Amino acid sequence: MELTDDEVKILNGKKAMTSLLMNKDPLNFNKAIRYRKYSNKLKKLQVELIKMHEHIIAQKLRVVVIFEGRDAAGKGGAIRRITERINPRFFRIVALPKPTEEEQTQWYFRRYVNKFPSAGQIVFFDRSWYNRAIVEPVNGFCTQKEYDIFMNQVNEFERMITESGIILVKIYMSISKNEQARRFEDIKSNPLKQWKYSAVDAKAQELWDQYTEYKNQMFENTKSGIPFKVIRGNRKENARIKVIEYLLKTIPYDKDRVV
C-alpha cells in the first residue's frame, strides 16, 4: 500500500503508531488513519465544547441534553466524549434506575424535574422521560392509559421547560438491527462491558419491530413540539463527531472565547 505525504504525517507519532498496533490487523493503515483523523477532529471539537461550557457557566445558563435511542446505540459513549474535557463541577450525567414504589405514585415527570440543572449547569440524561414513549410500552412496564397521558402531556411539559429559560436539546441515536446484534455479542463477551447487558437488552432484537413502531409514533407526536435530532450511529466515531457538532450548533456560546 502506497501512502500519501499527508497520510504519512498522520501516522507519524506515538499515538498514531499505538492506534495502528492496537488493530487486529497491524497493517490496516486505512483504519489507523481514520482513527487518527477522528482523534484530531475530536480534540478540536472538545476545545469548542470547553468554550461552550465556560459560556454556559459565565452566563448562568441552564441546559438539558437528553439522549434516546436503541440499546447499544452509543448514547453513553457519546456522552463520555462530550464530558471528558469540560469542568466536572458544572455538569451531571443522569441515568435513572426504574422508579421506586413511591415514585410510581407521583406525577411521572417529577423524578426527572428533580434532576434539572441550576444556573451554569448542563445535565445529560442517558435516557429520559421518553422511556414512557418507547421502552415502557414495548416491554409492558406501563399501561395504555399511562402511555396515552404521557403522549398528551409531553409537548406541553417541554414547552414549560423552555419557557422557564432552560435550553433543551433532544438527540436520538439510531443503529441498524445487525449492528445492534453485533454490539450485543461484543458486550456479552467482554467482562468489562457485561454489566451493560440487561434483561431489556436481551429482548431488544426480538422486539425490534415494536420498538420501531413506538419510535415512529414518538417522532410523529413530538414534531409539533421540540423534535429530535436523529444521529446515525452505525459508525461510532462518526456519530460522536456529529453529536458534538450538533450541540455546538444548537447551544449558543462565544466562539471567540480563549481557553
The one-digit pLDDT tens for each residue of the chain (259 residues) are 555 656 555 555 555 555 555 555 555 667 778 888 999 999 999 999 999 999 999 999 999 999 999 999 999 999 999 999 999 999 999 999 999 999 999 999 999 999 999 999 999 999 999 999 999 999 999 999 999 999 999 999 999 999 999 999 999 999 999 999 999 999 999 999 999 999 999 999 999 999 999 999 999 999 999 999 999 999 999 999 999 999 999 999 988 877 7
Please tell me the distance from the alpha carbon of residue 163 to that of residue 247, in angstroms, as a whole number.
20
Q: How many domains does the chain have?
A: 1
pTM listed for this prediction: 0.89
Is 177 inside any structural domain? yes
Within a domain: 246? yes
Burial 126-155 (b: 16+ CB within 10 A, else e): bbbbbbbbbbbbbbeebeeeebeebbeebe
pLDDT confidence of residue 210? 98
What pairing do the DSSP bridges indicate for beta strands 91-94 and 121-126?
parallel
Residue 71 belongs to what domain range?
Answer: 59-250
Domain-embedded: residue 42: no
> Is residue 97 one of the residues assigned to a domain?
yes
- pLDDT for 10 equals 56
Alpha-carbon torsion (83, 87, 88, 93), positive or negative: negative
43, part of any domain: no
Encoded amino acid at 206, one letter = E
Evaluate whether residue 79 is within a structural domain: yes
Given this model, what pLDDT does residue 35 score? Answer: 86
* 54 assigned to some structural domain: no
Q: Return the C-alpha cell found at 211.
A: 420498538
What pLDDT shows up at residue 256?
A: 84
| Domain CATH number, residue 113 | 3.40.50.300
User: Does a structural domain hold residue 138?
Assistant: yes
**Spatial contact of 63 and 166, defined as CB atoms under 8 Å apart:** yes
Q: What is the DSSP letter of 179?
A: H
Beta bridge partners of 174: 232
Longest dimension (CA), the chain: 66
